[in-house]
Structure 1
């Protein structure tokens, strides 16, 4: 990851804390928690890699897990520590580092790993595979990892309402049907968009056994305007849709066309 990625998250650390409270982004949060509950062991030590300001770490700590946080952005990590302390919770470690440079002294240490940020930004396939191999070494036997990717097939769907001006160039539409490497000038920061088949191959090549995969936004993908309207006008409809969408995030008819692809794999 370049310094541009670190700078972006240092500049937007407070926004990252609030992002999952957005009426539409809330489904990403709830789907991920649903998968954590379904696939993680009931107890153990979890490594939250790309923890940001600690939204998932807090939920894990509340459930009694031992949690270590690793984050590239020092400001995000500091905010996460502050919020964890305010709640009277205690994490095991706070590590400010790039996962690619983390030492190899953690073999067979964790029962579960969350890898929910780094794969959005690593544009080199070999580096992504090396990260996955490193995570596999850090997991105990039978340990579970949840890996998040940005999915081009879902992003194009969201773009119809969120950034239609980009589609004035016909080639920009076609570009979303394959993997994409996006520069700082083209996107929110330096980023990488994949497709479900490519992501699954990558995880398997790293030695993991794939348990399942999901689309975080489920059948709500691309419907941010409608979901915000329900949130403001009819909370019962909104909450019912969130609940069922999270429960159905692994359904084949939805998971390939959501913005955030979540791969669940086992060592």
Structure 2
């Protein structure tokens, strides 16, 4: 990742810790936890690549997994270490490194991997494919990984309420029907937006058998304002919807039109 991306996460480390506590982002959190529970191995060593401040790593450690955290941002890893140690837990390692350099990790060293973020920021296809191949290399036979991509189709839906002024140029609407690369976005940094079929192709080309895929925001995708209102005004309805959305995140009628597209995959022979 570029220095721009590194600076973004170093400067926003605390904000990234808080991000998944946001009422709307809780849908992504719950859906991802559900996929982890369903598709990661029941025990073993997990490499959390793009761990950020360690929210998912903490969940895994509390369940008895061994966990290595791997992230570009030293500030995020420091937050992760602090919060993990406050729980009386211990990670296997904290590795501050660019996810394009997974060669520093041993071959067939991990039972499972999370890749929930790095692929958002790798603009070049060859580099993304190499990253997926390196995830394949570090996994034990039959190891599983969960990959996350930003989905341009879902961002179009979200954009209606979150950045509608962009669409004063009608061509920008149609741009969201395909892959996109951004040097920088309002409120975000350098980014690559995929589309579901391209993301699936990339993971398969990297040597993986796709087990399942999901849309993290499920049927609530693009409804940030309304979901937040329900959180404030009718907590029971909010909780019911978030629970149902996480349970339906793999349903084909919802999964391809969400902001985050998740792929559960198993290592196969290339």
TM-score by length of 2: 0.97
Deviations 1:210-258 (A, max 9, x none): 0010000000000111110110011110111111100100000000000
What residue number does 2:54 align with?
54
How far the C-alpha of 1:104 sits from its partner, in A, is 4.9
Moved more, 102-111 or 209-218: 102-111
Gaps of 5+ in 2: none
1:138-177 aligned at under 5 Å gives the runs 138-177=138-177
TM-score by length of 1: 0.98
How far the C-alpha of 1:169 sits from its partner, in A, is 1.1
1:8/1:104 Cα in 2 relative to 1: closer, same or farther (>3 Å)? closer
Aligned pair 1:190/2:190, yes or no?
A: yes
State the alpha-carbon separation in 2 of the partners of residues 241 and 124 from structure 1. 37
State the alpha-carbon separation in 2 of the partners of residues 265 and 167 from structure 1. 35
User: Across the two proteins, how many residue pairs are aligned to each other?
Assistant: 267
What residue number does 1:263 align with?
263
What residue number does 2:252 align with?
252
State the alpha-carbon separation in 2 of the partners of residues 232 and 103 from structure 1. 46
State the alpha-carbon separation in 1 of the partners of residues 142 and 136 from structure 2. 10
What residue number does 2:18 align with?
18
CA RMSD in angstroms, aligned pairs only: 1.0
Aligned pair 1:38/2:38, yes or no?
A: yes
Question: Secondary structure of 2:189's match?
Answer: coil
How far the C-alpha of 1:87 sits from its partner, in A, is 1.1
What residue number does 2:123 align with?
123
Question: Secondary structure of 1:102's match?
Answer: helix
Moved more, 27-36 or 177-186: 177-186
- Verify the 8 A CA contact 2:102 2:134 in the aligned structure 1: no
Gaps of 5+ in 1: none
What residue number does 1:7 align with?
7
State the alpha-carbon separation in 2 of the partners of residues 179 and 10 from structure 1. 27
What residue number does 1:67 align with?
67
